Structure 1
Amino acid sequence: MGKPTGFKDYKRETTKEKPPIERINNWNEYTKRLSDAALQTQGARCMDCGIPFCHMGIEIRGTAAGCPIQNVIPEWNDLVYKGHWKEALQRLQMTNNFPEFTGRVCPAPCEGSCTLALNEPAVAIKSIERSIIDKGFENNWITPRIPLHRSGKKVAIVGSGPAGLAAADQLNHLGHKVTVYERADRAGGLLMYGIPNMKLEKQVVERRIKLLQQEGVKFVLDTEIGKDISPKVLVSRYDSVILCTGAQEQRKLRIDGSEAVGVHYAMDYLTGVTKSLLDSNFKDDLAIDVKRKDVIVIGGGDTGADCVATAIRQKARSVVQFGKHPQLPKTRLEDTPWPQDPNVYKLDYAYEEAKAIQGEDPREYCIQTQKIISDKDGCVKELHTIHMEKILGEDGFYYFKEIPGTERVWPAQVIFVAIGFDGVEKSLPLQFGVTVTNNRVKASARDFKTNVDGVFVAGDARRGQSLVVWAIKEGRAVAESVDEFLSSEVKK
């Protein structure tokens, strides 16, 4: 490394955040880049550790450890430190199709596995990654790369989320003609409608879609396979089909009163708000509006946090988020040793904003929703809860036990259900005739082949709800498998 003692000489500094009171008044990204000089300093903190666990990309106990797409992080950190930004971009693009997405929305498991993170704040990998790709676009270093030769083979990809886009990008550069089908009116899938604008501005997604189009990828929007075009017809038109439909079957809230007016799925809320913002800057009045309402978000994950941030921007009267697990520890515990993700308490952007407005973190921990009460018109009026304790049973498993006397009634006019996803929407895979097991399309991570010849699957549809970076990894891997399949077809 260019600065062997950089990790001792400099302190960690990450992407700057706009003040909460300022940023909640608009829907723009809440972060802004560090200066080039500051980023070079951060690159200098990347130590010559010998074995860089930051890019090992494995799963430990079901969570990512290191970068799943094996970004060669130390190399581009060093290049940034030396001011060689264009070379750093070239290294980054070797492994990551869309650094502008991961540099904004990835939880950065690479940082949890950074060797420096053993006893010091990790290298600011995510901030550096985003800055490399943003500078690449700003300096016009990123231009359309149009394949010189075409194979004559055609591939259809169903779904334009990160897995579908990565597969399309890879296969296009291998010379195949790629068509991506998307049932929504804009391409991007989760990136477009599942992640709020303040985390990922949609012009960033649209810029990448435009680049893919310039390189030869065709997008067919507002077209639902299985409804507008039958799977049988699709298979007959193309040499191969890849299902990248995601895991969009939202988990239902199964308690009394859950059918009341005012109870919504979180993704329906986030999608509607983003679409209304893009279509008309909210002039169409089609988005769910929580202005001057008491909002409760059930579910303690990132989707729930995005609901909190969205409701804050809509000027909700109050926002509370329920989670069934205890508050995370502030430091790494023994049961999450390095290089695992430390899984520690953070005041993420949404909670920082809610705290600035309401005076406290909006999260309630170890809480169980018991029932929802409606008024005479069938609209949500209040929500009843009880607190729980997490105990270790004699069998070695953890259980939740209700605590008598902790019952509480919460006023609410709007409730968002953000308790995860059950898996793939089954109707389309069944029309293709592929096997669905445990709510996932069955295929191995070795070749991504389904039981139907020529039909492949990747992303959340195969592995279940996961991170954007895992979807990109699967998209790249399925493209390699499809290319091998198409090559073998030519030989026949």
Structure 2
Amino acid sequence: MGKPTGFIEYVRELPADRLPLDRIQDWDEIHQHMPDEKLRTQGARCMDCGTPFCHTGTIISGMASGCPINNLIPEWNDLVYRGLWQEALDRLHKTNNFPEFTGRVCPAPCEGSCVLGINNPPVTIKNIEVSIIDKGWEEGWITPELPAKRTGKKIAIVGSGPAGLTAAAQLNKAGHWVTVYERSDRPGGLLMYGIPNMKLEKESVVMRRLNVLEAEGVTFVCNVEIGKDLPVETLLKEFDSVVLCTGATKPRDLPIEGRNLKGIHFAMDFLTANTKSLLDNHCGEDFISAEGKDVVIIGGGDTGTDCVGTSLRHGCKSVVQVEIMPMPPTKRAADNPWPEWPKVYKMDYGQEEAAAKFGEDPRTYLTTAVKFEDDENGHVKAVHTVQVKWGKNDKGQFVPDRIPGTEKVLPAQLVLLAMGFLGPEQPLLDALGVERDARSNVKADYGSYTTSISGVFAAGDCRRGQSLVVWAFNEGRGVAQACDRYLMGSTDLP
């Protein structure tokens, strides 16, 4: 602990983001960097607690409390304070294969459980993390590291999202030959196409790391859908083991009147097409445009926020985000104590941008859509909504009840459904004949990751359901251990 009184002397400070009205004019990253000296001061705020919660990754009340990959946070905070950046990078890489991703897109459950956060703003853990890794890239400290020897074992990983990439990195370190199959035209999965460029840059951040993985010996095979372009039998025959990391990509639908109208899309289709067009030809063609349209986004969460930010960059006429849940309190509620994840009101980047352009937060709470209205040409022209109140039904379950007299009609030429996901797509799992659980996820116990088929493992959202990127990293590392142990009888992977 470099500065025992740092948490008393210094206040929380983050680098300023680019101004909202400026950043919606482009697709560049919204965050700016902080000078080293200020970062060292922020590192000094870490108390090096006798019992730190920031790196526990414990599940409390159904939410992560602390870092699920057990980052050595107090250690690298202290090293940053001392100016020992390369040593801080070494500590960071011990638990996190890709801190440049989590440092940008993780909601930072570590900060929610920071002990300093009991009565003061928590340590800026997320910003320090991304600053460490960015400095590592800038200084040239991150270079391909080839395994000392090869085992001769061949592993196929299906899916190149966060879990698949982490498993690939770890299994390659163990000396196995790893081939990652991706049905899209670029590897990266959610990191490439599910998260917009202004939040996670593709060429300078995602592709940079993928290029290192390739240089280390990982093979990426794109435009190949297992079970369609390549039979599952071939996969099982040609590889010593298979790891399923396909994600939970089946979107939740909204089967109300008018759902079949044109102009209504799943959020991920909207986001994916936009990023692909941006990378292919700088948004010249082949994407779902919000330009000049009244946009209604149904659903909150990160995906809804990304739809808001993307629509603004297209030049939408207006944007409304319909949220069925109540507005969170501005401070922790009595039933949401530390170190639980704080369920409090905040404006993410998309809402900040909408407020700057249109004058207010685009979210409308305790509201649900009940009908999509036709413009008489088969295209949506409005969304009919009603306010709800939450109460218990005769089974004791919390359900929303409509409030008569609160109906409202929102103009909409583009509707985006961002209501989460129902689990993995089933055709591949059907072709494999792998057993599933009651939620349609691949049945495999946490820790063993073993499916009903010998030599086939599953990790990430396809096993646990929709979750955080950092949990995918946790499971990617875990399944690599399990797969390595299966192939070699033991494992030295961390």
TM-score, length of structure 2 as denominator length:
0.98
CA RMSD of aligned residues (A): 1.2
The 5-angstrom pairing of residues 66-465 of structure 1 reads 66-203=66-203, 204-283=205-284, 285-391=285-391, 397-437=397-437, 438-465=439-466
The residue aligned with 2:477 is 476
Q: Give the deviation of 1:398 after TM superposition.
A: 2.9
CA distance in 2, matches of 1:36, 1:7: 18
One-letter amino acid matched to 1:124? T
Encode CA deviations 1:352-403: one digit per residue, 9 max, x unaligned: 0000000000000000111001112100011111111223568764332221
CA distance in 2, matches of 1:456, 1:3: 45
Residue 434 of structure 2 contacts residue 452 of structure 2 at CA under 8 Å; is this kept in 1? yes
Q: Secondary structure at the match of 1:179?
A: strand
Encode CA deviations 1:397-426: one digit per residue, 9 max, x unaligned: 433222111111111101000111110101
CA distance change for structure 1 residues 93 and 346 in 2, over 3 Å: closer, same or farther? same
Residue 43 of structure 1 contacts residue 81 of structure 1 at CA under 8 Å; is this kept in 2? yes
Q: Give the deviation of 1:15 after TM superposition.
A: 3.4
Q: Give the deviation of 1:439 after TM superposition.
A: 1.5
CA distance in 2, matches of 1:392, 1:422: 23
CA distance in 1, matches of 2:102, 2:154: 29
Encode CA deviations 1:323-342: one digit per residue, 9 max, x unaligned: 10010100011111111001
One-letter amino acid matched to 1:70? N
Q: Secondary structure at the match of 1:472?
A: helix
The residue aligned with 1:63 is 63
Encode CA deviations 1:155-206: one digit per residue, 9 max, x unaligned: 0000000100000000000000000000000000000000000000002110
Q: Secondary structure at the match of 1:83?
A: coil
Residue 163 of structure 2 contacts residue 472 of structure 2 at CA under 8 Å; is this kept in 1? yes
Q: Secondary structure at the match of 1:101?
A: helix
CA distance in 2, matches of 1:440, 1:400: 27
CA distance in 2, matches of 1:5, 1:402: 53
CA distance in 1, matches of 2:68, 2:447: 15
CA distance in 2, matches of 1:67, 1:416: 31
Would you say how many aligned residue pairs link Structure 1 and Structure 2?
A: 489
Q: Secondary structure at the match of 1:55?
A: coil
TM-score, length of structure 1 as denominator length:
0.98
CA distance in 2, matches of 1:319, 1:150: 54
Q: Secondary structure at the match of 2:151?
A: coil
Q: Secondary structure at the match of 1:249?
A: coil
Q: Give the deviation of 1:60 after TM superposition.
A: 1.3
CA distance in 2, matches of 1:15, 1:166: 29
One-letter amino acid matched to 1:463? R
- Identical columns (%): 56
CA distance in 2, matches of 1:15, 1:371: 43
CA distance change for structure 1 residues 139 and 254 in 2, over 3 Å: closer, same or farther? same
CA distance in 1, matches of 2:425, 2:339: 34
Residue 264 of structure 2 contacts residue 415 of structure 2 at CA under 8 Å; is this kept in 1? yes
The residue aligned with 2:48 is 48
Q: Secondary structure at the match of 2:155?
A: strand
One-letter amino acid matched to 2:476? G
Q: Give the deviation of 1:95 after TM superposition.
A: 0.1
CA distance change for structure 1 residues 320 and 227 in 2, over 3 Å: closer, same or farther? same
Structure 2: which 5+ runs fail to align?
none
Encode CA deviations 1:278-324: one digit per residue, 9 max, x unaligned: 000012x1011111100000001110110000000001000000010
Q: Give the deviation of 1:215 after TM superposition.
A: 0.4
One-letter amino acid matched to 1:336? N
CA distance in 1, matches of 2:490, 2:232: 21
CA distance in 2, matches of 1:320, 1:144: 45
Residue 368 of structure 1 contacts residue 385 of structure 1 at CA under 8 Å; is this kept in 2? yes
Q: Give the deviation of 1:252 after TM superposition.
A: 1.1
Q: Secondary structure at the match of 1:183?
A: coil
Residue 426 of structure 1 contacts residue 436 of structure 1 at CA under 8 Å; is this kept in 2? no
One-letter amino acid matched to 1:388? V
CA distance in 2, matches of 1:183, 1:460: 17
Residue 421 of structure 1 contacts residue 465 of structure 1 at CA under 8 Å; is this kept in 2? yes
The residue aligned with 1:39 is 39
CA distance change for structure 1 residues 426 and 395 in 2, over 3 Å: closer, same or farther? closer
One-letter amino acid matched to 2:195? I
Residue 390 of structure 2 contacts residue 400 of structure 2 at CA under 8 Å; is this kept in 1? yes
Q: Give the deviation of 1:73 after TM superposition.
A: 0.2
